[in-house]
Structure 1
Amino acid sequence: MTATAVHETLAAQPLTDHHCHGVVTEGLDRPGFESLLTEGAPWPGISPFDTPVGVAVRRHCAPLLDLPRHAPAEEYLARRAELGPREVNRRFLTAAATDVFCVDTGYTPHPLTAPHELAEAVGGSAFEVVRLENVAESTVRAGVEPDAYGAAFRAAAEEAVRQPGVVAVKSVAAYRTGFDLDPARPTDAEVTEAARRWLATGGRLADPVLVRHLLWTAVDLGLPLQLHTGFGDNDIRMHRVDPAHLTDWLHLSAGTIPVLLLHCWPYQRQAAYLAAVFEQVYLDVGLTLHHVGPARARAVLEEALEITPFRKLLYSSDAYGLAEFYLLGALSFRQGLGALLQDRVEADELSLPDALRIVRWTGSANARRLYGLPSETVPRRD
């Protein structure tokens, strides 16, 4: 009866997905689908279907396409094409039972649904997360002198976050420099000299001084800051994206803005430590969950929750491109969290009321509180 109560509460809890992306609106052939199934690139003779996430798609997503569990990849893709992207996206988004989406709109190599389209698919609500590197790069493309870059970037960022529905900002410093940076706010002279170097060479924002300037500008903006940490594509230098590298910066920025550590794997324990000792730090294990699938979600969540205060863990899917990732993220979270809470209740290490409170907090209430979202669940239209 205890286990049933925990799982039933999780199943009935609409999720607030505090970090996600749009899904593709075009039909996908096998190479197109497989390219979105992996953080790497498909290699000759090695299919992304032959990975934990590929197996999880065939096991847990196939039934929503009216296929048997573990349907072969060819049958899965044929049925997906038969239904068409609109119907496929509707089925998976509805099954994920997510009613609030905080959408990072800054990565669009494919045509993707807009935030309002995600919300409309389930009768929910969508908000926007502004990617600050995009703002900086747009500032440079618009034309700016080195000594005016700092002020121009800040003005552009302030304008971006004033737009309706914006609730947070994000940085992908992990991809550009890593976190082993000088934690101090750079001087105006340092920013000007770094901007001069960048304007001379062009390309993406990857100068350590300007990345530091971006992070401190985020502090000045006053909104929650999301930071990609840990697992990502091969632009990442994994040893440099351990969030523990942020310790000195977190000391210097204490008392300012919430800092959201995204994804975290394999550094979920380091992230948990930071959340335990810094008031402003929160974390999720999104992206990780759909890549490990329901089979290993509990293990990842268990490590993340070893010392994390329960008001500090948030849910995210980090779904991008494939609507399947919305379902897998939600399913992995519900099954993994349910199993570990169930065992703690049965061992009398946790009361049932406490377990149900943790479900409500981590599934939705923590994110709603942090981002200032409405506390009431938006009614769903099935």
Structure 2
Amino acid sequence: MHELGAPVLIDQHCHSVVGAELGEDAFASLLTESDRPLGPGASPWDSALGLAVRRWCAPVLELPQFASVEAYRERRRELGVAEATRRLLRAAGLGACLVDTGLTEAAGVPLLSPEELGGVAHADVHEIVRIERVAELATTPATAAHTWAATVGDALRRAARNAVGLKSVVAYRCGLDFDARRPAPAEVANAAAVHLASGGGRLTHPVLLRHLLWEALELRLPLQLHTGFGDPDLVLHRSDPSLLTGFIRAVEPLGTPLVLLHGWPYHRQAAWLAQAFPHVYCDLGLTLTHVGAGARRVLAETLELAPFHKLLFSTDAYGLPELYLVGSAAFTDALDAWLGEAVPVPAEAARIVALISGENARRLYKLP
């Protein structure tokens, strides 16, 4: 951890973890963003993330760094799911977790509830509501096109009552190069008719997604937006956060904070947007978990432009407690390296560490 003392980390975007033993293939599937079968002899362990798990997590399970995959999996089975999860989550040093509740299982296994996650991690837990899931759950066979907007709006307001923020995966559903303007009621009703005629289900109609974004912004809670890489369901070049520039300008009068998640390979664009617009923030989350030794370079490139009070820490951990520890370790290691080169004054370095590690998130999400 940081030479100036372990920072209090607020993980501003994450998911829960499984509470049951996973088979070898199911476990390995959570070490990659790909959902495709691998070729003969291939394994997700053979990656920067697989190496990071063996580097950072093995010692927590009383194994040497870079222990073999077989030794790691065997030690995990010896300890049992509950004990391994407890050790790994607490080693991550988290003070609070902002949990996206839009996912409820991983590799076909249910995730722990947010409350259970917080108990095991010894961390405060707060909810982030995924707006597309709310709209999908609110839409039933009885929903009419002319009432879709009101039905979904009511559901979103109810879901947000106890949340500290909202999240959109519009990058996956239609890309970030969407029309920035707020759609008129007639447009929404017509789009809802098309959506309902197709059977409802997964929300992909650009007009309805835009309407949902504007509705969410009026709730005045920070809105997280997935940008950059992810699973094969997205088209990478359409997840470039700079494509949101028109939308960012259009919603600026509302003043609702926008948080650009992940970013890679467009993290520099996200950093520029955070510098240019007062209501835009960014994190690196999933990126630092996956890029291995490249985490130092990526964080340094982000800090070329991102103001210190606009960059947030997150892991985007999902399914495996290892991803919490790898995310926090990669972040603190990369920040240490950047500080060692850029900030030779300890007091100033400590101030920047405190901002990025947790104070920015505490201020933005109005956490106690």
Q: TM-score, normalising length from structure 2?
A: 0.96
For residues 181 and 346 of structure 2, what CA distance do their matches in structure 1 show? 45
**What is the CA deviation profile of residues 207-235 of structure 1, one whole-angstrom value per residue up to 9, with x for unaligned ones?**
01011101101111111000010010000
Corresponding position of 2:328 = 330
Stretch deviating more after TM superposition (250-259 or 317-326): 250-259
For residues 324 and 67 of structure 2, what CA distance do their matches in structure 1 show? 20
Identity of aligned residues (%): 51
| Alpha-carbon distance, 1:142 to partner | 6.1
Count matched residues.
361
**What is the CA deviation profile of residues 129-156 of structure 1, one whole-angstrom value per residue up to 9, with x for unaligned ones?**
0000011101113631000001111111
Corresponding position of 2:81 = 85
For residues 141 and 78 of structure 2, what CA distance do their matches in structure 1 show? 44
Correspondence list, 1:1-382, <5 A: 7-9=2-4, 11-41=5-35, 42-44=37-39, 45-110=41-106, 111-141=110-140, 143-162=142-161, 164=162, 166-202=163-199, 203-256=201-254, 257-293=256-292, 295-346=293-344, 351-374=345-368
Q: Which segments of 5 or more consecutive residues in structure 2 lack a partner in the other structure?
A: none
Corresponding position of 1:379 = none
| Alpha-carbon distance, 1:265 to partner | 0.6
Q: Which segments of 5 or more consecutive residues in structure 1 lack a partner in the other structure?
A: 1-5, 375-382
For residues 229 and 8 of structure 1, what CA distance do their matches in structure 2 show? 32
For residues 142 and 221 of structure 1, what CA distance do their matches in structure 2 show? 27
| Alpha-carbon distance, 1:13 to partner | 1.0
**What is the CA deviation profile of residues 266-313 of structure 1, one whole-angstrom value per residue up to 9, with x for unaligned ones?**
1100001100111100000001111113x2211110111101111000
Corresponding position of 1:377 = none
Q: Which amino acid aligns with 1:289?
A: L
For residues 28 and 79 of structure 1, what CA distance do their matches in structure 2 show? 14
For residues 25 and 208 of structure 2, what CA distance do their matches in structure 1 show? 37
| Alpha-carbon distance, 1:353 to partner | 2.3
SS of the equivalent of 2:51 reads helix
For residues 72 and 308 of structure 1, what CA distance do their matches in structure 2 show? 38
Q: Which amino acid aligns with 1:209?
A: V
**What is the CA deviation profile of residues 73-93 of structure 1, one whole-angstrom value per residue up to 9, with x for unaligned ones?**
111111112211111110011
SS of the equivalent of 1:221 reads coil
Q: TM-score, normalising length from structure 1?
A: 0.92
The answer (yes or no) to whether the contact 2:90–2:122 under 8 Å persists in 1 is no
Considering only aligned residues, what root-mean-square deviation do their CA atoms show, in Å?
A: 1.3
The answer (yes or no) to whether the contact 2:16–2:99 under 8 Å persists in 1 is yes
For residues 93 and 117 of structure 2, what CA distance do their matches in structure 1 show? 12
SS of the equivalent of 1:227 reads strand
The answer (yes or no) to whether the contact 2:171–2:234 under 8 Å persists in 1 is yes
Write out the 4+ residue segments of structure 1 that deviate beyond 6 Å after TM superposition.
none
For residues 329 and 219 of structure 2, what CA distance do their matches in structure 1 show? 35
SS of the equivalent of 1:361 reads helix
The answer (yes or no) to whether the contact 2:164–2:221 under 8 Å persists in 1 is yes
For residues 88 and 243 of structure 1, what CA distance do their matches in structure 2 show? 37
The answer (yes or no) to whether the contact 1:99–1:119 under 8 Å persists in 2 is no
| Alpha-carbon distance, 1:62 to partner | 1.0
SS of the equivalent of 2:96 reads strand
Q: Which amino acid aligns with 2:3?
A: E
For residues 117 and 99 of structure 1, what CA distance do their matches in structure 2 show? 15
